[in-house]
A and B are shown apart, each in its own frame.
Chain A
Amino acid sequence: MHELAIVQRILEAVCERADGRRVRRVTVRVGALTAVVPGAMLFCWELAAEGTDADGADLDIEQRPATARCRACGADLELADLVLLCPCGSADLAVTGGRELQIVSMEVT
């Protein structure tokens, strides 16, 4: 359940930036290769935010797919799982997306 630790980091960062203003909404970007489960983040968000300047804020999660480029045939592909395999048979893939774990923006009042 590292999502709780992740959510706490997000809250620390946004409350620091909000500098006393009220945080109403936070948008984060979560890639499919980060081992972070959006549902688990939402589950602990409300509880973790309680008593902070982000108490009651909404959490929006933009999910990003895992993508890779095949070094053998040059194809760009979306990965269904973490097994790095191109339909051409090559396992020599460069991951191009899916490792994002970022706070995109927040809405404050």
Chain B
Amino acid sequence: MCATCGCGPHHHETVTLEQRVLAKNDALARANRVRLAGRGIRAVNLMSSPGSGKTTLLERTVRDLNGRRPVAVIEGDQETRLDADRLRATGCAVTQVNTGAGCHLDAAMVGDALDRLDPADGTLLFIENVGNLVCPALFDLGEDGKVVIVSVTEGADKPLKYPYMFAAADLVVVNKLDLLPYVDFDLDACRAHVSAVNPRASLVTLSATRGDDIGSWYEWLLLN
């Protein structure tokens, strides 16, 4: 009997792997990135908690930019096609990914979605991740930039509570600025918390429903 596991006479062998757990996802993400770059497509991964206004921000963005540059959306949700239907109504190309029990998009899902969507050359592609401030931070999708959206109806301490997500962001969007007079949200504190966990992240504030200060968001999208 084997002394290690009691499973019969056999030889135990230790195999050294030293490989990254997400090696496969990262390889698929690299392939997505090469595929997108080859066609001049800029991909932006939008992440936030549920209800921060990702889809509303996208609706306005698609309406405002669609004439200037082709816009397409990969819409990630656990269930339903509701958000894809909302975005399709704005006139852009949309494909829905339902993750079911999954709490994040991965590079394979985005690769499959790209096959279906087949965006035009030079497209500005938004990947709306599953509403979740934890899991999506870990999975490279092959995007050019990660955007984290937080709204003033949430706490200003969100960046400290969900530091992994904010540490991964290239841009932080503070949404629902029109509600600022009615809620207890310290914008300066939020700004300080973001730079505490991620000094290199940019930050813009706006209202997706009213369009207040939306210009700096478009500037970031089109110039970066």
Contact = CB atoms under 8 A, between A and B. Distances in A.
Interface of A: 1-2, 5-6, 9-10, 12-14, 17-18, 21-22, 24, 28, 33-36, 81-85, 91-92, 101-109
Interface of B: 2, 4-5, 7, 10-25, 102-104, 106, 134-135, 137-139, 160, 163-164, 167, 195-197, 199
Contacts of A9: 21-22, 24-25
Pick the most buried of B12, B15, B134, B139: most chain A CB atoms within 10 A of its CB: B15
30 contacts: A2-B103, A2-B138, A2-B139, A5-B106, A6-B21, A6-B138, A13-B19, A13-B23, A14-B17, A17-B15, A24-B4, A35-B135, A82-B164, A82-B197, A83-B196, A83-B197, A85-B196, A91-B199, A92-B199, A101-B21, A102-B19, A102-B21, A104-B17, A105-B18, A106-B14, A107-B14, A108-B12, A109-B2, A109-B10, A109-B13
A83 B135 contact: no
Given A33-B164, A84-B199, A92-B199, A103 B104 contact: no
A35 B137 contact: yes
Name A's interface SS: mixed
Contacts of B20: 101-103
B47 to A, nearest CB: 13
A109 B12 CA distance: 5
A59 B197 CA distance: 31
Given A24-B5, A91-B196, A12 B17 contact: no
A18 B195 CA distance: 45
Nearest to A102: B20
Contacts of B135: 1-2, 5, 35
Contacts of A17: 15, 17
Contacts of A105: 14-18
B104 A81 contact: no
B104 A5 contact: yes
Query: Secondary structure of the B side of the interface?
Result: mixed
Nearest to A16: B24
A9 B27 CA distance: 13
Nearest to B102: A5
Contact of A91 (B14, B160, B195): B195
B134 to A, nearest CB: 6
Given A9-B21, A24-B5, A107 B164 contact: no
A83 B19 contact: no
B134 A2 contact: yes
A53 B18 CA distance: 20
A72 to B, nearest CB: 13
A82 B163 contact: yes
A13 B18 contact: no
Given A34-B164, A105-B17, A108-B15, 13 more contacts: A12-B24, A13-B19, A13-B21, A14-B17, A21-B13, A35-B138, A84-B199, A102-B19, A102-B20, A102-B21, A103-B21, A106-B14, A109-B5
A86 B197 CA distance: 13
Contacts of B25: 9
Contacts of A91: 195-196, 199
